[in-house]
Amino acid sequence: MLMLRQGLSLRGLRKGVKEAYLWEKAKQIMRPDDANVAGNVHGGTILKMIEEAGAIISTRHCNSQNGERCVAALARVERTDFLSPMCIGEVAHVSAEITYTSKHSVEVQVNVMSENILTGTKKLTNKATLWYVPLSLKNVDKVLEVPPVVYSRQEQEEEGRKRYEAQKLERMETKWKNGDIVQPVMNPEPNTVSYSQSSLIHLVGPSDCTLHGFVHGGVTMKLMDEVAGIVAARHCKTNIVTASVDAINFHDKIRKGCVITISGRMTFTSNKSMEIEVLVDADPVVDNSQKRYRAASAFFTYVSLSQEGKPLPVPQLVPETEDEKKRFEEGKGRYLQMKAKRQGQAEPQA
């Protein structure tokens, strides 16, 4: 369980927002059931901690003024890189801060540090940006207005508005792009998409949900990472770890009692990394009036490691169908784009 601290951030925001708690801090020790067989903490465990901190701070802020009570629901997680592995016995320090609000959404930035409590060494493991929307407790289909924050500089609000418009556009495009379904194939050949693709079926119970009956975003992300990890392990048959997660888009709420199918398939491999697309479909089996729908989607990147924790070459994916070849080229484009971005950031400034 996360141990929480709360307060009012003065960095970048004026003291005028008296009632809104704008940052959160939490800590949690990593236990064996949080990690894989090599002792590395699952990426899904870290994503779940990140989402819990974001949900707390955004829900508190959205209820900081008099009015209709609400709960903040996760709408999107921007790309997050796993900068350093976290191991069993280390303490995760999670800090979250509200950095922008629009009329109906909240941007939260989260940092995760790992601490070796024997040596006192701390490392930054994750930086993430999450977007939440406030849903009414009386009607969870009703989105409420967000109390505004006051910025110390106009540039901060303008930069936040640009990030908001960009994620809004991409989220809508992704919702309609990811309409296909992962189908099983009999007797697939090694290194093909069909050979490693995997699915997990999960009945949503009360422990997965908020008090208001829909699934925590962190629960969904942890299941998505679990499926992606199975795909990666099946493909390379070595120890694997999450390297990064591209934007996770939550297209619709998942209610208690739904049966969800989390499907993963490999889309691209470079020499040392694997991109895996994960789709989440919800089937409201207790509600005949609603059909199966796409609830979330994302791309996960994994790397293969030796027993000593060194990167290993990845078996090259063999796309067979035209759709698989198209997804491979799209994945290659994302890989090259991110590689160029990292190289640009690494170049010294003149």
Cite the active site residues: 36, 225
Residues 292, 295, 296: CA angle, nearest 5 degrees? 145
- The half-sphere exposure of 268 on its side-chain side, counting CA atoms within 13 A, is 16
Compute the Cα dihedral for 210, 213, 217, 220 and give only its sign.
Answer: positive
What's the Cα-to-Cα distance from 311 to each of 36, 40, 240, 317, rounded to whole Å? 17, 14, 9, 18
Query: Strand, coil or helix: what is 64?
Result: coil
Tokens of 74: 């996760």
**Integer Cα distance of 303 and 221 in angstroms:** 19
Residue 24 near residue 4 (C-beta atoms within 8 A)? yes
Cα 173 from chain centroid (whole Å):
18
Q: How far is residue 60's CA from residue 81's CA, in Å, rounded to a whole number? A: 27
The alpha helices in 22-91, defined as continuous H runs, are 43-62
Count CB-CB contacts under 10 A for residue 29.
13
How far apart, in whole angstroms, are the C-alpha atoms of residue 202 and residue 269?
A: 28
Q: CA–CA separation, 226 vs 246, rounded Å?
A: 15
